[in-house]
Amino acid sequence: MSAHAEGPGGQAPKLPPGVILAPGRHELGAGEKLYLSAIAHGLLNTFKHLIKPKFTIDYDGTEKDNPKKAHTPRPGYRGEHYLKKDEAGHVKCVACFMCAAACPAECIHIEARPAPPEMKDRERLPARFEIDMLRCIYCGMCEEACPVDAIALSPIFNQVSDERVKKVYDLELLLKRGEELGLSQSRHRYRPDGVPGAVPERKDHQ
């Protein structure tokens, strides 16, 4: 855009009474009032977007095994849950119900059973541990509430199902998911603070 437009006789053109220009703006000259350069500018801009490569991932059924479509969320992303195991390979959870109490969506259902006498470090184990992913709001409160670092949120975000029942995850599935992610023994707490293995390394740009 050109500099301040000068009216006839070198004086700044008069604005209609009551009209105040915003800071940094100037009254448009005769050439600018045709808006031809502005329109050309806009057309050029939209054309650039027209030919720009799109970053939308096509979920055509190949997104799971096509490395080009792999997307790793940023560190700290709150996806679906998994449960961790201790060094002995037992579930870490002690069925204290803290996560169920903290959950604002009330999507965690736990039933406890007494721990076998040879386990000295805990009194109870979960007999049933179910998370209704359709109710979950992915707030991460369960992760924060857990006193033994047993439940955590994974970066998984694209699991869909054609049945409601399949979105109620049980103990077995949650443990298996932790193993699949290689995070069963990880020691991170809630926010990823540089603990290796807490979150898979980022592979793509965003």
Partner 1 sequence: MDFEWADYLWKLLPVFLVFLGVLSVVPIHVYLERKGAGYIQDRVGPNRVGLLGPDGLLEGLFGWRVTRQRILGGLIQPAADVIKLIGKEDFVPAKADKVLFTLAPMMALLPPLLSFVVVPVGADLNLGPIDESGHPVWLPLQVADLNIGILWVLSVASLSAYGLALGGWASNNKFSLLGGVRATAQMISYEIGMGLIVVCMAMHYQSLSLREMVGQQSHGVLQWGVFSQPLAFAIFVVCAFAENNRLPFDLPECEAELVGGFHTEYNSLKFGMFFQGEYIAMLAMGALIATLFLGGWHYPGYEALRAAAGDAFWANLGVTLLSLAAFGVKTVGFVLFQIWVRWTLPRFRYDQLMSIGWKGIVPLALLNVVVTVAMVLA
Give residue for tokens 């699949």: 180
Question: Residue 47 interacts with partner 1 (CB under 8 A)?
Answer: yes
For residue 183, with 0-12 CB atoms within 10 Å meaning exposed, 13-18 middle and 19 or more buried, which class applies? buried
Instruction: State the Cα–Cα distance between residues 145 and 93, nearest whole angstrom.
Output: 12
Q: How far is the CB of 47 from partner 1 (least distance, A)?
A: 7
Instruction: State the Cα–Cα distance between residues 152 and 75, nearest whole angstrom.
Output: 13
Site string for partner 1, 110-139 (x = CB under 8 A): ------------------------------
Contact 177, 136 (CB under 8 A): no
Instruction: State the Cα–Cα distance between residues 144 and 56, nearest whole angstrom.
Output: 33
Question: Residue 196 interacts with partner 1 (CB under 8 A)?
Answer: no
Q: How far is the CB of 45 from partner 1 (least distance, A)?
A: 8
For residue 98, with 0-12 CB atoms within 10 Å meaning exposed, 13-18 middle and 19 or more buried, which class applies? buried
Question: Residue 50 interacts with partner 1 (CB under 8 A)?
Answer: yes
Stretch that binds partner 1, among 21-29, 51-59, 69-77, 147-155 (CB under 8 A): 51-59
Q: How far is the CB of 134 from partner 1 (least distance, A)?
A: 25
Q: How far is the CB of 50 from partner 1 (least distance, A)?
A: 5
Which residue's CB is nearer to partner 1, number 23 or number 61?
Answer: 61
Tokens read off for 120: 């000295």
Residues 53-72 that bind partner 1 (CB under 8 A): 54-56, 58, 60-61
The residues that bridge with 131 in the sheet, in sequence order, are 108, 169
Question: Residue 206 interacts with partner 1 (CB under 8 A)?
Answer: no
Which residue's CB is nearer to partner 1, number 10 or number 55?
Answer: 55
Instruction: State the Cα–Cα distance between residues 29 and 176, nearest whole angstrom.
Output: 69
Which residue's CB is nearer to partner 1, number 35 or number 157?
Answer: 35
Where do contacts with partner 1 occur on this chain (CB under 8 A)? 39, 42-43, 45-47, 49-52, 54-56, 58, 60-61
